[in-house]
Chain A
Amino acid sequence: MDTYRCLNDTRKGLVETLIESWLFVAAMISAIAVGAILFFLIYFAWPIFHEDHLWKLLSWYWRPFQDQFGILPMVAGSVLLGISSMLLAYPMGIGVCCCVYGLGPRWLSGLTLMIVRIMTSVPTVVYGFVSVFLLVPFLREFFYHGSGFSWLAATLTLSLLVLPTVTLIVNAQFELFDPEIRLATTALGFSPIKQLIWVVIPASYKGLLAAAVLGFGRAVGDTIISLMVSGNSPQFPHSMLDSIRTLTAHVALVVSTEAGSMAYNSLFAAGIMLFGVSALVNGALRFIRAGSE
């Protein structure tokens, strides 16, 4: 019996050691990959920071043929599009969750969540494609302004893309809320809407913050939507009907046409900025999680 247990322990020990080593190797590979991306970004962008080209980067003009490589319009484009699509998707996502979580009829809850889950599996390019053929012509004819490829078109499309991210995170947080406390507050005479606003949402604020941060990260990180429907003019928009260009679309556009030039090198600065946004998003998430402990 003892021999058997001993043998069993050894086997278990071996399996555990193998799993631990495998997890360690996987974690190290991921860490090294991220580190290498940052290293190469800085390495390739170094000439721009090092020489007197820096002022060219921090300008509002992207005119590569006139030796002007300003990426500020693209930074503004990314930030503005991220904010505007979140302004639309975030309240909408919370609204969907409130509807699912007791404000709407029960049959609608399951259906809505199913649709939102399906939305996550639709390839991004499909959203862009549908927008180009339906939304953009509609905006062009409705507003009589420009080509329709605009900040507004990108905002509307991107908010649909971000909506499931927000909805699923907030919904997961709502579902964590103790159903017994819900029943107890119902028994006190709370209406469903009062219960949500005063009890469930305050108790779920960490999930709400995480949804805002991750949703924003997803909006800024998306490439295809902005590339397909925002119009890609490297300018600061003066209205939502103006065309904009985001950092991600900018990288995609320039990489496809340039190689080795100053324009090409400036992309690494854009890459560092996107990397910075991603690091900030992760930092903010860690901060939120630390607050919950």
Chain B
Amino acid sequence: MAFPSTSCSVFAQNLSVSFSARQVINNLSVEISSRNITVIVGRSGVGKSTFLRSLNRLNEEISGSRTEGTVKLSFKDGTVDIYRDRFPIEELRRRVGMVFQTPHPIPTSIGKNLSLPLKLVLNLPSRKIDDRIEKALTIVHLWSEVKNRLKEPALSLSGGQQQRLCLARTLALEPEILLLDEPTASLDFKASEKIEDLLSELKRDYTIISVSHSIGQARRIADNVLVMKEGSIIKVLAASQFQEKGTLEDLLNEVF
């Protein structure tokens, strides 16, 4: 099957994911456009995170998982059918970066959290690594805060800083699609605001798919909202449909 349209970055068809016979994603089909922020909303346990993890094949790391259906991702150099093509899984995960709900820095220094992936995943020479680290930390507005403490443990950073570090770590690898699993859930409103502003800047270069529990956040940053229920996407809303305050809440109240 040809990729639906040139502006489409993610295409899933009849996607089903189960864990030890418990169906989590149920015959899901969706098209997600590139260089946009798509926010997935839905109640807890409807399969939002599982859907995100099916886009970088991370469900396979969880025992008992089984995935069926088609997921095609469009990269700069072509389209990959991730469950059928023999595309290296490490390279897929590099290109489809993911940031989790709570920050998980590697228990080492701030600098090494960025340099290790660059060295091991991209095999970059050391002279290029320093530039890449500075660039990534500047994008997430963390460089000025940590440039003199790159050798200090990453765990000495605050929660918000750790989350931005994890985002920088992912961005440094220059992914093409960015998956965010409730990236601001563990942050205070000020730190959340920073991340939201950042995402609005980043969408110029990346296709961003984010899970969010905050309707306000979805309204502020989303170009499209996907509403999930019982493992399927039941509604797709475009930004023009929910710009007025309260309309998104009303629309979601209807479907929940």
- Judge whether A188 and B63 touch: CB under 8 Å: no
Q: How far is the CA of A181 from the CA of B93 in the complex (A)?
A: 15
- Judge whether B93 and A199 touch: CB under 8 Å: no
Q: How far is the CA of A190 from the CA of B123 in the complex (A)?
A: 11
- Fill in one digit per residue for A172-215: 1 if any B CB lies within 8 Å of its CB, else 0: 00000010110111111111001000110011000000000000
**Which chain B residues lie closer than 8 Å to A194 at the CB level?**
120-121
Assess whether B91 is interfacial by the CB under 8 Å rule.
yes
- Judge whether A199 and B104 touch: CB under 8 Å: no
* Total interface residues in chain B, CB < 8 Å: 25
**Which chain A residues lie closer than 8 Å to B98 at the CB level?**
187
**Which chain A residues lie closer than 8 Å to B116 at the CB level?**
198-199
Q: How far is the CA of A183 from the CA of B65 in the complex (A)?
A: 15
Assess whether B3 is interfacial by the CB under 8 Å rule.
no
Contact of B121 among A106, A189, A199, A202 (CB under 8 A): A189
Assess whether B61 is interfacial by the CB under 8 Å rule.
yes
Assess whether B166 is interfacial by the CB under 8 Å rule.
yes
**Which chain A residues lie closer than 8 Å to B93 at the CB level?**
186-189
Chain A min CB distance to B163 (Å)? 12
Q: Residue among A178, A186, A191 with the most chain B CB within 10 A?
A: A186
Q: How far is the CA of A183 from the CA of B170 in the complex (A)?
A: 13
Chain B: which residue is nearest A202 at the CB level?
Answer: B108
Q: What band does the interface of chain A fall in when counting residues whose beta carbon is under 8 Å from B?
A: 10 to 19
- Judge whether A106 and B56 touch: CB under 8 Å: no
- Judge whether A188 and B107 touch: CB under 8 Å: no
Q: Provide the main secondary structure of the chain A interface.
A: helix
- Judge whether A187 and B58 touch: CB under 8 Å: yes
**Which chain A residues lie closer than 8 Å to B100 at the CB level?**
180, 183-184, 187
- Judge whether A187 and B56 touch: CB under 8 Å: yes
**Which chain A residues lie closer than 8 Å to B48 at the CB level?**
none
Q: How far is the CA of A183 from the CA of B166 in the complex (A)?
A: 13
Q: How far is the CA of A190 from the CA of B60 in the complex (A)?
A: 14
- Which residues of B in the span 89-108 have a Cβ within 8 Å of any Cβ on A? 90-91, 93-94, 97-98, 100, 102, 104-108
- Judge whether B91 and A188 touch: CB under 8 Å: no
**Which chain B residues lie closer than 8 Å to A202 at the CB level?**
108
- Judge whether A189 and B102 touch: CB under 8 Å: no
- Judge whether B61 and A189 touch: CB under 8 Å: no
Q: How far is the CA of A174 from the CA of B111 in the complex (A)?
A: 24
**Which chain A residues lie closer than 8 Å to B107 at the CB level?**
181, 203
Q: How far is the CA of A191 from the CA of B89 in the complex (A)?
A: 9
Q: How far is the CA of A40 from the CA of B34 in the complex (A)?
A: 80
**Which chain A residues lie closer than 8 Å to B108 at the CB level?**
202-203
- Judge whether A189 and B94 touch: CB under 8 Å: yes
Q: How far is the CA of A186 from the CA of B121 in the complex (A)?
A: 10
27 contacts between A and B (CB under 8 A): A106-B63, A180-B102, A181-B107, A184-B100, A184-B104, A185-B106, A186-B61, A187-B56, A187-B58, A187-B97, A188-B93, A188-B117, A188-B173, A189-B90, A189-B91, A189-B93, A189-B94, A189-B121, A189-B173, A190-B117, A190-B120, A190-B121, A194-B120, A194-B121, A198-B116, A199-B106, A202-B108
The list of the 6 closest CB pairs from A to B, nearest first, reads: A189-B94, A184-B104, A189-B121, A187-B98, A189-B93, A189-B90
Binding site for A on B (CB under 8 A): 56, 58, 61, 63, 90-91, 93-94, 97-98, 100, 102, 104-108, 116-117, 120-121, 166, 169-170, 173
